[in-house]
């Protein structure tokens, strides 16, 4: 497979065949994100991508899971997505699902009929970064999306039968913004009812452009924030994960069944965490 620059994919896509159908991110302005900084956004020519699909099908004919990269592939026009998915269905007889990153506005730009059509072509999980439910914080972070819009997008996508895997960022509001970040995020998630939810701790890596006023939370504060979010959640059918390497405590469960047990676990481990610094930081993000 031909990859340009660094390739990012969700942890759950480790076993997927990955095609870079576009390079970079069409928004590329989120202050907390360094993923595609310095990568000019470019959609690869359709014929070039289709030839790559055909070559990969000769090499990996049994592939059944495919991930389309880079950022916000849902921003591609419906027709382009349709042609790519039809070709993947034709070339890979065992294809079960195709997943990609999606921003709220890109989902909202598709009609319910288009979303349903893409789902029928085995588009399956849309990875969406909510980051926070706090509208003012999203603005400060130049997310380019509103929580309201992302909420509507997840509801619309899931009504069309797609699954949304929503990511939130612990500590992104700093100590001062933690209370409103936690309560607004839980409230938006309750309205969205995402099928999958991942909590990652924000770590200010080189390449981000966080406001000068931003202060990192301690390890204790990050997990305490997660605890407040968990307490505020009333999700009806969600797989929850906070087991990304950035998380001080690896957690996983099904909500609502495991919610109380997760809260008890976090309450028990919280007192042992670092109250003065970030604690153990991941070697790699
Ligand atoms: S967080 Fe997502 S939308 Fe924002 S710049 Fe990074 S890849 Fe693009």
Please report the DSSP string for 260-271 in residue order. HHHHHHHHHHGG
Residue nearest to atom 5 of ligand 1 (CA): 28
Contact (CB, 8 A) for 228 and 58? no
Centroid of ligand 1 to alpha carbon of 251 (angstroms): 25
Write down all domains in the chain, each with its CATH number in brackets.
Answer: 11-272 (3.20.20.70)
pLDDT confidence of residue 282: 66
Q: Which of the pair, 277 or 54, is modelled with greater confidence?
A: 54
Atom of ligand 1 nearest to the CA of 70: 7
Q: How many CA atoms lie within 13 A of 232 on its CB side?
A: 20
User: Is the pLDDT confidence value at 5 over 80?
Assistant: no
Number of neighbours of residue 210 by Cβ within 10 angstroms: 16
What percent of the chain is predicted at pLDDT more than 70? 99
Which token pair is 52?
A: 């790559």
Task: Report strand pairing: 251-255 vs 238-242.
Answer: antiparallel
**Alpha-carbon span 124 to 69, nearest angstrom:** 14
CA of 183 to the centre of ligand 1 (A): 23
Residues 209-262: tens digit of each pLDDT: 999 999 999 999 999 999 999 999 999 999 999 988 888 889 999 999 999 999
pLDDT of residue 285: 47
Residue nearest to atom 6 of ligand 1 (CA): 33
What is the reported pLDDT for 243?
A: 85
Longest CA pairwise span in the chain (Å): 57
Q: For ligand 1, which residues put their CB under 6 angstroms from it?
A: 25, 27-30, 33, 35-36, 71-72, 103, 129
Alpha-carbon torsion angle 256, 258, 260, 266, nearest 10 = -130
| Helices 174-192 and 219-232: angle between axes, nearest 10 degrees | 30
Mean of the pLDDT values across residues 74-94? 98
Point out the ligand 1 atom lying closest to the alpha carbon of residue 131: 1
Ligand 1 centroid distance, CA of 129 (Å): 8
Distance of alpha carbon 116 from alpha carbon 103, whole angstroms: 17
Per-residue pLDDT reduced to its tens digit, 161-219: 999 999 999 999 999 999 999 999 999 999 999 999 999 999 998 999 999 999 999 99
CB atoms within 10 A of CB 48: 10
The residues that bridge with 238 in the sheet, in sequence order, are 255
Give me the percent of the chain exceeding a pLDDT of 90.
91
Q: How far is the CA of 58 from the centre of ligand 1 (A)?
A: 33
Q: Which atom of ligand 1 is nearest to the CA of 28?
A: 5
Q: How high does pLDDT run on average in the chain?
A: 96
How remote is the CA of residue 137 from the centroid of ligand 1, in Å? 15
Contact 101, 55 (CB under 8 A): no
Q: Could you tell me the distance, in angstroms and rounded to a whole number, from the CA of residue 142 to the centre of ligand 1?
A: 10
User: Which atom of ligand 1 lies at the shortest distance from residue 26's CA?
Assistant: 8
Q: Name which of 143, 130, 25 is nearest 75 in CA terms.
A: 25
92-129 tens-digit pLDDT: 999 999 999 999 999 999 999 999 999 999 999 999 99
Q: Is 205 exposed, middle or buried (0-12, 13-18, 19+ CB in 10 A)?
A: middle
Residue 136: count other Cβ atoms within 10 Å of its Cβ: 13
Q: Please report the atom of ligand 1 found closest to the CA of residue 143.
A: 4
């Amino acid at each position: 497979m031909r990859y340009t620059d660094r390739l990012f994919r969700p942890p759950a896509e480790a076993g997927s065949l990955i095609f870079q159908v576009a390079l970079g991110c069409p928004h590329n302005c989120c202050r907390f994100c360094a993923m595609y900084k310095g990568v000019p956004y470019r959609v690869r020519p359709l014929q070039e991508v289709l030839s790559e699909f055909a070559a990969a099908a000769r090499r990996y004919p049994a592939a059944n899971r495919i991930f389309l990269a880079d950022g916000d592939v849902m921003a591609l026009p419906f027709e382009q997505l349709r042609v790519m998915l039809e070709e993947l269905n034709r070339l890979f007889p065992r294809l079960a699902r195709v997943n990609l990153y999606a921003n709220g506005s890109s989902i909202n730009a598709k009609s319910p009929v288009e979303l349903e059509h893409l789902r029928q072509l085995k588009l399956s999980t849309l990875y969406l970064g909510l980051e926070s439910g706090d509208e003012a914080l999203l603005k400060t972070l130049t997310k380019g999306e509103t929580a309201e819009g992302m909420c509507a997008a997840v509801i619309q996508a899931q009504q069309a039968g797609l699954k949304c895997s929503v990511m939130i960022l612990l500590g992104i509001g700093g100590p001062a913004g933690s209370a409103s970040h936690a309560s607004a995020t839980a409230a938006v998630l309750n309205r969205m009812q995402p099928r999958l939810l991942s909590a990652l701790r924000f770590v200010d890596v080189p390449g981000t452009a966080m406001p000068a006023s931003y202060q990192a939370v301690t390890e204790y504060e990050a997990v305490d924030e997660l605890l407040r979010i968990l307490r505020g959640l009333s999700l009806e059918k969600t797989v929850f994960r906070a087991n990304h390497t950035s998380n001080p405590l690896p957690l996983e469960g099904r909500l609502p069944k495991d919610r109380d047990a997760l809260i008890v676990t976090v309450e028990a481990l919280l007192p042992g965490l670092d109250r003065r610094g970030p604690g153990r930081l991941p070697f790699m993000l």
